[in-house]
Chains A and B, each alone.
Chain A
Amino acid sequence: MGDIIEMNGIVKIFPPNLVALDDVSVTFREGEIHAIVGENGAGKTTLMKILYGMQPADSGEIILRGEKVKFSDPGEAIASGIGMVHQEILLIPEYSVWENVVLGNEPVKFLDHLDSKKAREQVKAKIKEFHFNLDPDTKVADISVAARQKVEILKLLFRNVSVLIMDEPTSVLTPQEIPQLFSELKRLRDNGHTIMFISHHLDEVLDLSDRITVLRKGKKIGTIEAREATKTGLAQMMVGRKVIFESIRKAQKPGDILFEISNLNYTDADKKPRLQNIHLQVRAGEIVGIAGVEGNGQLELVNVIMGLIEPQSGTISAMGQDVIPQSILEKRKKIAFVSQDRGNMSACLPARITENVIMTHHRLNPRFTSLGGKVLNFKQANQFTLEVQEIFDVQMTSGETLFRSLSGGNQQKVILGRELLLDAPFILLDQPTRGLDVGSIEYVHKQITTMRSKQRGILLISADLEELFRLTDRLIVMHRGRIVADLVTDKTNITEVGYLMLEGMTYEA
């Protein structure tokens, strides 16, 4: 097996200050499955987009079969035999499978007229050649996501692509569909195709690939043979240190019920039930986790609690008061809230740091205003920013700088600082570590457990099971808008919860 593609010294900068790729060099061999792994934001997709001609590199070169190449758009890459399948599938649902496959590269007869018979035959032959188990005449709208992905691959094979880039292909598939995709990819490899496979699921990577390249924060950490790799070793390469998978809670007896939802129902504008009969309780000194695949009602639950949408029935009480009819300001006296959407819900990016820090405090704490709340006290506000900086260890120059200029981890520290210093008894955390680096994640976890020992009640929504097992006392599993399990964290395990998240029931049921 010789080398087919060499990428040398690739640098990519996204203004204002993100270095997405920092002098990355990778070599791909002909006929291998080469996985590119790394955490979110490590630069995997960017590297592949540069190879595919979707984004120009700021420096560095690409050598294809011994020749230096530079693609200025994907069309040129495809002409040179390199194709990419994106995370989102881009097909025309009203067209049949064969129509989608030939689109843009149609066999024509007299006067540029589409030769449908020939086109259909060609597509059929390709399907047969690669054992794809697709019906060329079905409408794309009527086939599953996995089949659509196959159509995308077929589209590239139809253009005689020999290098196939797959960007997180498994993220849209159900667990049952993954093995089939993998066997197809392996068959393609055995036919001499080269496959690059972007993923952050280590099990998949170990199962499928021949070699693995690990990226971390835009730098290449190394390329290793898959058969020599282990899951822990890879994880260590990805995050840069040993990952702790164990719980960090200390035993503590929970106190009174601080927060309670009962019989909550919410149906959206399209008459789809999003939350059905939700019951849950959070006690003082207790962390309750909500596990679930994204889109199973978590977002609606948060919005109902915060008062952005109105439920059809049910009650939400905090400190014994029904909070549904209350104004958001009134709710905020009892509820601290960190959203998963930093830029839209938790912060005002174009405003200054201080202006972000005093939000909510400016109405609840008389310290920040004078003349009966009418005029802001900037001296106190600046002082408060320094306090947050000190207590939460924020790396920043001054409160006058724009919030946007902070790194993600520091932004989250400022937000946590603001919310936790509200001294609200109940804390709602919606994916508080999303998109953060490992160091910041650990910091946020520490703050959460500190709040627990201060007898706050915490509801933690997370898509990250390891995080939930690390932090929570109890675990609630949501599936299609219902609570399907309410478990004691120490008496369950990741496999059981994972199954509940996907299937909405336990094995036995």
Chain B
Amino acid sequence: MKRKILINLVGILLAFILGALVMAIQGKDPIEAYYRLFEYSLGTPNKIAYTLNKSVPLVLTGLSATVAFASGPVNLGQPGQLLMGALFATVGGLYINLPPGLLIPLLLILSMLGGALWSGVAALLKHLFNMNEFITTLMLNMIADYLTLWAISYPFFEKNANHPQTPLINQNGWMPEWGSFSSNVIVMLLAFGIIWFIVNRTTSGYEWRISGQNSLFSRLGGVNVKKNYLAVMLLTGALAGLAGGLIIMAGPHRFIKDIGANYAWDGVMIAMVANTGVILTLVFGLFFAILQTGALGMELQVQVPRELIKVLQAVIVLIVVAGRGYFESLFALLEARRKMRGRTS
């Protein structure tokens, strides 16, 4: 456990040093830049609230990928599932009128259904034709991309808009805000808690984790591998869909073209750094949100382009993921030498 934290910290530190070098070469002051980065994302309660808000889609798609990777299925369909969730929530919000206490949960459930439907298609293709979800989820991403674009350009198009977008959803379906703090953070934390419990405490979560590490062993142990596969696909799709629903309900309150941005791919990246750890996914999701929010501050104050943060993120992923294997074998070697010395002396 200590080792894990150490490896992650070293990865982040190395990435920051590399970033500082790049800035120094360009004649910018890295210390000032990093100060602005954190000042802009965490400097005041308002800024923290904004950063938290930004972390919601990152953490939720990250959890989706983490649960999938830890359990075996290579669900890479978070971008598409997110868009479908967003579309479902939007359509619900356009046509259903209920008081907020009912409409908000209903729209959240709809968004999860949208995501689960999309990952369910991939699961069905696997079941019927043994098609690998690694391929089908990626392909379904593109279909979702254009399907939602069509939906907001034609059937749900806002009249007279000069850009593909839907009208605003029913105001009763907006996530409540208190100042700059949006309640979507509460939904995220709730989802995190539930996922942590499912993965670490339930019988199914145990079976998923073991199947993810050794499918044949769990099958021989009496685990219904097929059923678990379906459950994991649906759950992870629902998580990504929830991220999409929350983007609509806490953000522009309508589906605008390109609303999904890169959230889901960042989520996959977060899951890779977190290496199947649910808590680490939350931590890295928050951390990446800090970086992404603070990037703007860096750009405004020190004229360091925002894109540097993308480089920094990528370097963190590379160093942590690559370093993991390296550190593991390094520790193993040291251990072996120690034992050897113990034997000969």
> Taking beta carbons and an 8 Å cutoff, which residues of A are in contact with B?
11, 13-19, 22-23, 306, 308, 327-329, 332, 337, 339, 344-351, 355, 358-360, 362-364, 369, 373-376, 378
Contact between B203 and A375 (Cβ–Cβ < 8 Å)? yes
Residues of B close to A362: CB separation below 8 A: 203, 206-207
Contact between B222 and A332 (Cβ–Cβ < 8 Å)? yes
Contact between B217 and A348 (Cβ–Cβ < 8 Å)? yes
Q: A15-B336, A19-B340, A375-B201 are in contact. Are A344 and B216 (CB under 8 A)?
A: yes
Of all chain A residues, which has the CB nearest B225? A328
Q: Is residue B101 contacting chain A, with contact meaning CB distance below 8 A?
A: no
Residues of A close to B336: CB separation below 8 A: 13-19
Complex CA–CA separation, A358 to B210 (angstroms): 11
Contact between B220 and A22 (Cβ–Cβ < 8 Å)? no
Please give the distance in Å from A17's CB to the nearest CB on chain B. Answer: 5
Contact between B224 and A344 (Cβ–Cβ < 8 Å)? no
Please give the distance in Å from A130's CB to the nearest CB on chain B. Answer: 43
Residues of B close to A23: CB separation below 8 A: 344
Chain B interface bracket (under 10, 10 to 19, 20 to 34, 35 or more): 20 to 34
Please give the distance in Å from B239's CB to the nearest CB on chain A. Answer: 20
Interface stretch (choices B30-38, B178-186, B247-255, B327-335):
B327-335
Contact of B214 among A13, A327, A349 (CB under 8 A): A349
Contact between A348 and B213 (Cβ–Cβ < 8 Å)? yes
Q: A15-B335, A16-B335, A348-B214 are in contact. Are A306 and B220 (CB under 8 A)?
A: yes
Contact of A345 among B204, B216, B339 (CB under 8 A): B216
Please give the distance in Å from A107's CB to the nearest CB on chain B. Answer: 44
Encoded as 1 (CB less than 8 Å from any A CB) or 0, chain B from 85 to 114 comes to 000000000000000000000000000000
Contact between A17 and B332 (Cβ–Cβ < 8 Å)? yes
Q: Is residue B46 contacting chain A, with contact meaning CB distance below 8 A?
A: no
Besides A16-B336, A351-B210, 9 new A-B residue pairs in contact (Cβ under 8 A), listed by A number: A15-B335, A23-B344, A344-B214, A344-B217, A345-B220, A347-B217, A359-B223, A363-B223, A374-B203
Could you tell me the dominant secondary structure of chain A's interface residues? mixed
Residues of B close to A364: CB separation below 8 A: 222
Q: Is residue B202 contacting chain A, with contact meaning CB distance below 8 A?
A: yes
Contact between A376 and B340 (Cβ–Cβ < 8 Å)? no
Contact between A346 and B217 (Cβ–Cβ < 8 Å)? yes
Q: A15-B329, A15-B333 are in contact. Are A345 and B203 (CB under 8 A)?
A: no
Can you list 6 residue pairs at the A/B interface with Cβ under 8 Å?
A16-B335, A23-B344, A328-B220, A339-B220, A351-B214, A375-B202
Residues of A close to B344: CB separation below 8 A: 22-23
Q: Is residue B2 contacting chain A, with contact meaning CB distance below 8 A?
A: no
Contact between A359 and B218 (Cβ–Cβ < 8 Å)? yes
- The list of the 5 closest CB pairs from A to B, nearest first, reads A16-B332, A329-B222, A15-B332, A359-B221, A348-B214
Residues of B close to A376: CB separation below 8 A: 201-203, 206
Residues of B close to A11: CB separation below 8 A: 340
> Taking beta carbons and an 8 Å cutoff, which residues of B are in contact with A?
201-204, 206-207, 209-210, 213-214, 216-224, 329, 332-333, 335-337, 339-340, 343-344
Q: A328-B220, A374-B203 are in contact. Are A17 and B210 (CB under 8 A)?
A: no
Q: A15-B329, A375-B201, A376-B201 are in contact. Are A351 and B209 (CB under 8 A)?
A: yes
Please give the distance in Å from B332's CB to the nearest CB on chain A. Answer: 3
Complex CA–CA separation, A308 to B216 (angstroms): 9
A-B contacts, CB under 8 A, total:
98
Of all chain B residues, which has the CB nearest A358? B206
Residues of A close to B333: CB separation below 8 A: 13, 15-16
Complex CA–CA separation, A369 to B218 (angstroms): 17
Residues of A close to B222: CB separation below 8 A: 327-329, 332, 359-360, 363-364
Q: A337-B220, A345-B217 are in contact. Are A22 and B203 (CB under 8 A)?
A: no
Complex CA–CA separation, A360 to B218 (angstroms): 8
Residues of A close to B332: CB separation below 8 A: 15-17
Of all chain B residues, which has the CB nearest A332? B222
Complex CA–CA separation, A363 to B220 (angstroms): 13
Please give the distance in Å from A500's CB to the nearest CB on chain B. Answer: 30
Complex CA–CA separation, A123 to B281 (angstroms): 64
Residues of A close to B204: CB separation below 8 A: 374
Please give the distance in Å from A323's CB to the nearest CB on chain B. Answer: 13
Complex CA–CA separation, A205 to B203 (angstroms): 54
Complex CA–CA separation, A339 to B340 (angstroms): 31
Contact between A19 and B339 (Cβ–Cβ < 8 Å)? yes
Complex CA–CA separation, A347 to B217 (angstroms): 6
Residues of B close to A346: CB separation below 8 A: 217, 220
Contact between A355 and B206 (Cβ–Cβ < 8 Å)? yes
Residues of B close to A17: CB separation below 8 A: 332, 335-336, 339
Of the candidates B204, B221, B222, the one having the most CB atoms from chain A within 10 angstroms of its own CB is B221
Please give the distance in Å from A355's CB to the nearest CB on chain B. Answer: 6
Please give the distance in Å from A365's CB to the nearest CB on chain B. Answer: 12
Complex CA–CA separation, A364 to B222 (angstroms): 9
Residues of B close to A360: CB separation below 8 A: 221-222
Please give the distance in Å from B230's CB to the nearest CB on chain A. Answer: 16
Complex CA–CA separation, A22 to B224 (angstroms): 46
Complex CA–CA separation, A495 to B218 (angstroms): 40
Complex CA–CA separation, A362 to B340 (angstroms): 39
Residues of A close to B206: CB separation below 8 A: 355, 358, 362, 376
Complex CA–CA separation, A348 to B221 (angstroms): 11
Of the candidates B201, B206, B210, B218, the one having the most CB atoms from chain A within 10 angstroms of its own CB is B206
Residues of A close to B223: CB separation below 8 A: 329, 359, 363
Contact between A329 and B343 (Cβ–Cβ < 8 Å)? no
Please give the distance in Å from A459's CB to the nearest CB on chain B. Answer: 16
Of all chain B residues, which has the CB nearest A13? B336
Contact of B224 among A308, A327, A347, A358 (CB under 8 A): A327
Please give the distance in Å from B212's CB to the nearest CB on chain A. Answer: 9
Please give the distance in Å from B216's CB to the nearest CB on chain A. Answer: 6
